[in-house]
Amino acid sequence: MTRILRRFLRFIGWSLVGGLLIVGGFFIWACLRESSSPESLAPSTGRFIQADGLKVFIQEKGPPEGRVVFFVSCNALAWSESWRNTIDPLAAAGYRVVAIDLPPFGLTEKPGPQGYSPSVQARRIAAIMDALQLKKVVLIGHSFGGCATVETAFRYQERVEALILLDAALGLHELPPASAAPLSWYMQCRPCNAVWGSLTYANALLTRPGFRYYTAVKSAVTPAKLSMYQLPLRMRGTSQAVGDWLAGDLLVYPQDAAFKEPTNYAGFKPPVLLVWGRLDEVTPLAQGEDLARRFIGSQLVIMEGVNHIPQLEDPTKLNATLLTFLATLPR
């Protein structure tokens, strides 16, 4: 019996050591990889502007006098360049396209740990619009970036011509907690946040399997696309910022979020287009149908054979859908 117990304890001990070595290895690898400045990584198609106290990376294309279509990138690995297959066709059709990197992802400067709540992100988006002197825009958000997009639309409705959401992850059926519970001690320890970031969304080894899970059209996940999505992971401070976002937003119920208030949907006046992949396993189609009922008079377009990332899986169909909707907006 004693021999069995010793073997069991030895197994537990070596398992803990192995786990710590793996975690430490990922963290050290992230520290070595995240050595580049945002300026050195930025494509020539974009530029940096100052907004809300941050150096924000944006990409623009199309005639300056065109109707502004404003893409918000704020979900796992997505950044302004990930909209490229949609930016170019819309710009060619006469629209002024603006795509922004909203932290913690992309090449925008990372704020502190308190900089990721929905209200802060909405203020940040409005500040970017101010910096670009944009009075009204068509807002487009995807997946978890839909939270910041809808929050902006509700708080600054007078600046929104129309709202377009792609497979938005809003968690509207998540019940608010009875009281604001404090985070666990290991999530309040900011140095630990960098570790959580290096193990999850900032972990380049998870990019390929993650995208294959999020897509039904596996052929869309090309080496070139993977490289493009991974590029911002080389920016200094990415793991820390992702960990701050996990602890400060993703894992915390947004108590003051306008997008969690049901009455805001029924009272929203601008036109709304919802685009959903029929095969979405992350935010199932039932969530899109529920959102269509909440936004009175909204349109729901279902993309066949598509999972969670329409702009990657079937950009041709998505672009046709967007252009058809945009053409119906009043001048």
Mean pLDDT value of segment 172-198: 71
Q: Determine the Cα–Cα distance for residues 212 and 220; give it in Å rounded to an integer.
A: 9
* C-alpha of 132 from chain center: 21
Mean pLDDT value of segment 56-78: 93
Q: Determine the Cα–Cα distance for residues 314 and 322; give it in Å rounded to an integer.
A: 12
Q: Determine the Cα–Cα distance for residues 59 and 232; give it in Å rounded to an integer.
A: 15
Q: Determine the Cα–Cα distance for residues 14 and 173; give it in Å rounded to an integer.
A: 42
User: Tell me, what's the pLDDT at 21?
Assistant: 54
* Fold exhibited by the domain 47-172+186-327: Rossmann fold (3.40.50)
Please determine, for residue 71, whether its predicted confidence score (pLDDT) is greater than 60: yes
Residue 63, burial from CB neighbour count under 10 angstroms (0-12, 13-18, 19+): exposed
Please determine, for residue 16, whether its predicted confidence score (pLDDT) is greater than 70: no
Least Cα distance to 321 among 82, 83, 90, 2 occurs for: 90
Contacts of 44 by beta carbon, 8 Å cutoff, 6+ apart = none
Please determine, for residue 235, whether its predicted confidence score (pLDDT) is greater than 70: yes
Please determine, for residue 88, whether its predicted confidence score (pLDDT) is greater than 80: yes
pTM (two decimals): 0.90
Report the range of poorest mean pLDDT among 136-145, 202-211, 236-245.
202-211
User: Tell me, what's the pLDDT at 324?
Assistant: 98
Please determine, for residue 170, whether its predicted confidence score (pLDDT) is greater than 70: yes
Q: Which helix (H) or strand (E) holds 302?
A: strand 299-303
User: Tell me, what's the pLDDT at 49?
Assistant: 98
Q: What are the residue boundaries of the structural domains of the chain, listed by start?
A: 47-172+186-327
Mean pLDDT value of segment 13-42: 71
Mean pLDDT value of segment 173-201: 72
Contacts of 268 by beta carbon, 8 Å cutoff, 6+ apart = 153, 154, 157, 163, 295, 296
Mean pLDDT value of segment 50-78: 94
User: Tell me, what's the pLDDT at 301?
Assistant: 98
User: Tell me, what's the pLDDT at 14?
Assistant: 52
